[in-house]
Structure 1
Amino acid sequence: MNIVRLLILLAVLVVGLIIGALNSQPIIISLGFTQINSTTGVAIIIALLSGALIGGGLVLASMVIPLYAKLRRAQKAAPAVVVAPPSSSTFDGR
């Protein structure tokens, strides 16, 4: 499984390098109060990364955290199940 993750990481890294190399035109990003000088490739990669992080955060806040809270409430409401320890009998099943 670790080799698959490594291959995916390398593929994403290569795609990022290709995007950065093919889009090397300088741009100026104006934020109203300041300006940022960058290249098109860096701006594209940062936009993709920030979109993925914001989307993941929204999913976490709107779905995962409420489901964990619901699971905790359900576990507190469920009666505790006591499992008896296995007996020390010498009976082997024959």
Structure 2
Amino acid sequence: MRLIKALLALLFVGFGVLFGALNRDPVSIDLGLWQLQSISLGTSLLLAVLVGAVLAGFVLTASVVWPLRHRLRRGKSAQASQAPGQEHHE
């Protein structure tokens, strides 16, 4: 399984390098406060995809993972505080 993951990662890195090499046209990007001059089209698109994936990961973590962990911790503390022999009904 580890070999398959490594091969897939290498494949995606190869596609990224190929994509960047085929899209070498210079572009200028204006971000309001910053202006990037003469960055290649391929690099700018790959960076945009990377930033989007990182932001999506943060949003998913904040909206799904942290509440589930909090709920799980609350459930464990409620079970630990029950007296032995009592059943937990919901």
Superposition TM-score, scaled by structure 2 size? 0.83
Counterpart residue number, 2:35: 35
Bigger share in helix: 2
The answer for unaligned runs of 5 or more in structure 2 is 85-90
User: Over the residues paired in the alignment, what is the CA RMSD in angstroms?
Assistant: 1.6
User: Residues 5-84 of structure 1: matches in 2 within 5 Å?
Assistant: 5-37=5-37, 38-79=39-80
Q: State the distance in 2 between where 1:13 and 1:31 align.
A: 27
* Stretches (4+) displaced over 6 A: none
Aligned residues: 81
Structure 1 residue 32: Cα displacement = 2.6
Superposition TM-score, scaled by structure 1 size? 0.79
The answer for unaligned runs of 5 or more in structure 1 is 83-94
Q: What percent identity do the matched residue pairs reach?
A: 35
- Between Structure 1 and Structure 2, whose CA radius of gyration is higher? 1
Q: State the distance in 1 between where 2:5 and 2:54 align.
A: 19
